[in-house]
Chains A and B, each alone.
Chain A
Amino acid sequence: MSRLFANGLLKLRRRDFLKAATIATAAMGLPVTMVDKVTAALESPKRPPVIWLHFMECTGCTESLLRTSHPDVATLILDLVSLEYHETLMAAAGHQAEENLKRAIEKYRGEFICVVEGGISTKDGGIYCKIGGRTALEILQHVGSEASSIIAIGTCAAFGGVQAAAPNPTGAVGVRDIIKDKPIINVPGCPPNGYNILATIVYILTFKRPPDVDALGRPKFAYGRRIHDHCERRAHFDEGRFVEQFGDEGHKKGYCLYKVGCKGPVTYANCPTQRFCDAGVWPVAAGHGCIGCTEPNFWDQMIPFYEHVPGVEVPSGQGIVGKAERIGKFAIGAAAAGIAIHAAAGAIKKATTKEKEE
Chain B
Amino acid sequence: MAKRITVDPITRIEGHLRIDVEVEGGKIVNAWSSAQMWRGIEIILQGKDPRDAWAFTQRICGVCTTVHALASVRAVENALGLEVPLNAQYVRNIILAAHALQDHIVHFYHLSALDWVDVVSALKADPKKTAALAQALSPWPGNSVTRFKEVQDKLKAFVESGQLGPFENGYWGHPAMKLPPEANLMAVSHYLEALEYQYKINQVVAIFGGKSPHIQTVVVGGVALAINPENEATLNMERILWAQKLFKEVKKFVHEVYLIDAIAIGALYADWLRYGAGVTNYLAVPDMPLDTKGETFDLPGGTIFGKELKNVKAITSFNDPYFRDNVAECVAHSWYQGDWTKHPFEEDTIPQYTDFKPEGKYSWAKAPRFKGEPMQVGPLAQVLVGYALGHELTKKWVDHALGKLSKISGQDVSVGVLQSTPGRHLARAIRAAMLAELGPKHLDLLLKNIAKGDLTIFNSPRFPKGIIKGFGFHEAPRGTLSHWVVIEDGRIANYQCVVPSTWNASPRDDKGQLGPYEASLIDNPVAEPERPLEVLRTVHSFDPCIACAVHVLNPRKEEIVRVKAL
Docked pose: A165 CA to B49 CA in angstroms: 14
What's the minimum C-beta distance from A7 to chain B, rounded to whole angstroms? 7
Out of B62, B166, B562, which one reaches A86, CB within 8 Å? B166
Q: Is the CB of A59 within 8 A of B63?
A: yes
What's the minimum C-beta distance from A161 to chain B, rounded to whole angstroms? 8
Out of B10, B44, B235, B550, which one reaches A167, CB within 8 Å? B44
From B47, which residue of chain A is reached at the shortest CB distance?
Answer: A166
Binary A-proximity of B220-251 (CB < 8 A = 1, otherwise 0): 01111111100111110000000000000000
Which residues does chain A contribute within 8 Å of B210, judged by CB atoms? 276, 281-288
Docked pose: A285 CA to B224 CA in angstroms: 10
Check B174 for interface membership: any CB of A closer than 8 A. no
What's the minimum C-beta distance from A234 to chain B, rounded to whole angstroms? 12
Check B11 for interface membership: any CB of A closer than 8 A. yes
Check A48 for interface membership: any CB of B closer than 8 A. no
Q: Is the CB of B166 within 8 A of A92?
A: yes
Q: Is the CB of B7 within 8 A of A282?
A: no
Docked pose: A316 CA to B239 CA in angstroms: 33
Which residues does chain B contribute within 8 Å of A253, judged by CB atoms? 228, 231, 233
Which residues does chain B contribute within 8 Å of A303, judged by CB atoms? 48-49, 52
Docked pose: A132 CA to B17 CA in angstroms: 10
Docked pose: A280 CA to B157 CA in angstroms: 36
Which residues does chain B contribute within 8 Å of A8, judged by CB atoms? 158, 165, 167
Check B36 for interface membership: any CB of A closer than 8 A. yes
Which residues does chain B contribute within 8 Å of A6, judged by CB atoms? 110, 188, 191-192, 195
Which residues does chain B contribute within 8 Å of A9, judged by CB atoms? 151, 154-155, 157-158, 188, 192
Binary A-proximity of B98-138 (CB < 8 A = 1, otherwise 0): 00000000000111011000010000000000000000000
Q: Is the CB of A169 within 8 A of B202?
A: no
Which stretch (A25-33, A77-85, A143-151) binds chain B?
A77-85
From A287, which residue of chain B is reached at the shortest CB distance?
Answer: B226
Check B40 for interface membership: any CB of A closer than 8 A. yes
Binary B-proximity of A245-288 (CB < 8 A = 1, otherwise 0): 11100011110000010000000000000001111011111111
From B246, which residue of chain A is reached at the shortest CB distance?
Answer: A279
Which residues does chain B contribute within 8 Å of A283, judged by CB atoms? 210-211, 216-217
What's the minimum C-beta distance from B566 to chain A, rounded to whole angstroms? 5
Docked pose: A288 CA to B91 CA in angstroms: 14
Which residues does chain A contribute within 8 Å of B467, judged by CB atoms? none
Binary B-proximity of A3-44 (CB < 8 A = 1, otherwise 0): 111111111000000000000000000000000000000000
Which residues does chain B contribute within 8 Å of A1, judged by CB atoms? 11-12, 110-111, 166
What's the minimum C-beta distance from B507 to chain A, rounded to whole angstroms? 16
Out of A69, A95, A232, A288, which one reaches B219, CB within 8 Å? A288
Docked pose: A283 CA to B457 CA in angstroms: 16
Out of B37, B202, B222, which one reaches A67, CB within 8 Å? B202
Docked pose: A247 CA to B234 CA in angstroms: 11
Which residues does chain A contribute within 8 Å of B226, judged by CB atoms? 246-247, 251-252, 254, 286-287
Interface size class of B (residues with CB under 8 A): 35 or more
Check B209 for interface membership: any CB of A closer than 8 A. yes
Check B563 for interface membership: any CB of A closer than 8 A. yes
From A62, which residue of chain B is reached at the shortest CB distance?
Answer: B62
Which residues does chain B contribute within 8 Å of A163, judged by CB atoms? 39-41, 44
Q: Is the CB of B51 within 8 A of A305?
A: yes
Check A335 for interface membership: any CB of B closer than 8 A. no
**A/B pair count, beta carbons within 8 Å:** 304
Which residues does chain A contribute within 8 Å of B203, judged by CB atoms? 277-279
From A4, which residue of chain B is reached at the shortest CB distance?
Answer: B166
Check B413 for interface membership: any CB of A closer than 8 A. no
Check B404 for interface membership: any CB of A closer than 8 A. no
Within 42-94 of B, Cβ neighbours of A (below 8 Å) are at 43-44, 48-49, 51-52, 55-56, 59-63, 65, 85
Which residues does chain A contribute within 8 Å of B140, judged by CB atoms? none
Out of A91, A95, A165, A191, which one reaches B62, CB within 8 Å? A191
Check A124 for interface membership: any CB of B closer than 8 A. yes
Docked pose: A163 CA to B199 CA in angstroms: 29
Check A90 for interface membership: any CB of B closer than 8 A. yes
Check A61 for interface membership: any CB of B closer than 8 A. yes
Q: Is the CB of A10 within 8 A of B192?
A: yes
Interface residues of A, count at CB 8 A: 89
Q: Is the CB of B166 within 8 A of A277?
A: no
Check A201 for interface membership: any CB of B closer than 8 A. no
Check B564 for interface membership: any CB of A closer than 8 A. yes
Q: Is the CB of B16 within 8 A of A94?
A: no
Check A87 for interface membership: any CB of B closer than 8 A. yes
Check B214 for interface membership: any CB of A closer than 8 A. yes
Check A304 for interface membership: any CB of B closer than 8 A. yes
Which residues does chain B contribute within 8 Å of A172, judged by CB atoms? 39
Q: Is the CB of A67 within 8 A of B212?
A: yes
Q: Is the CB of A94 within 8 A of B111?
A: no
Indicate the member of A5, A127, A283 with the most B CB atoms within 10 Å.
A5
Check B297 for interface membership: any CB of A closer than 8 A. no
Q: Is the CB of B166 within 8 A of A306?
A: no
Check B411 for interface membership: any CB of A closer than 8 A. no
Docked pose: A170 CA to B364 CA in angstroms: 13
Which residues does chain A contribute within 8 Å of B110, judged by CB atoms? 1-3, 6
Which residues does chain A contribute within 8 Å of B564, judged by CB atoms? 92-97
Docked pose: A285 CA to B167 CA in angstroms: 39
From B51, which residue of chain A is reached at the shortest CB distance?
Answer: A306
Docked pose: A204 CA to B54 CA in angstroms: 36
Check B434 for interface membership: any CB of A closer than 8 A. no
Q: Is the CB of B224 within 8 A of A281?
A: no
Binary A-proximity of B138-159 (CB < 8 A = 1, otherwise 0): 0000000000000100110110
Check A56 for interface membership: any CB of B closer than 8 A. yes
Known: A4-B166, A166-B44. A277 touches B232 (CB 8 A): no
Docked pose: A64 CA to B56 CA in angstroms: 18
What's the minimum C-beta distance from A282 to chain B, rounded to whole angstroms? 6
Check A108 for interface membership: any CB of B closer than 8 A. no
Within 43-57 of A, Cβ neighbours of B (below 8 Å) are at 54, 56-57
What's the minimum C-beta distance from A328 to chain B, rounded to whole angstroms? 23
Which residues does chain A contribute within 8 Å of B206, judged by CB atoms? 67, 276-277, 279, 281
Q: Is the CB of A287 within 8 A of B213?
A: no
Which residues does chain A contribute within 8 Å of B549, judged by CB atoms? 94, 132
Docked pose: A4 CA to B49 CA in angstroms: 41
Docked pose: A342 CA to B235 CA in angstroms: 33
Which residues does chain B contribute within 8 Å of A62, judged by CB atoms? 62
Q: Is the CB of B157 within 8 A of A11?
A: yes
Q: List 30 A-B contacts (CB under 8 A).
A: A2-B109, A4-B165, A5-B167, A59-B15, A61-B62, A77-B165, A83-B165, A87-B9, A87-B547, A90-B11, A91-B114, A92-B166, A93-B9, A94-B8, A97-B9, A128-B39, A129-B36, A131-B8, A162-B44, A162-B56, A165-B56, A166-B44, A246-B223, A251-B226, A254-B233, A277-B211, A279-B203, A286-B224, A304-B49, A306-B51
Q: Which A-B residue pairs are the 3 nearest by beta carbons?
A: A60-B62, A254-B233, A169-B40
B residues apposed to A, CB below 8 Å: 6-16, 36-41, 43-44, 48-49, 51-52, 55-56, 59-63, 65, 85, 109-111, 113-114, 119, 151, 154-155, 157-158, 165-170, 188, 191-192, 195, 199, 202-203, 205-214, 216-217, 219, 221-228, 231-235, 351, 353, 455-458, 460, 547, 549-550, 562-566
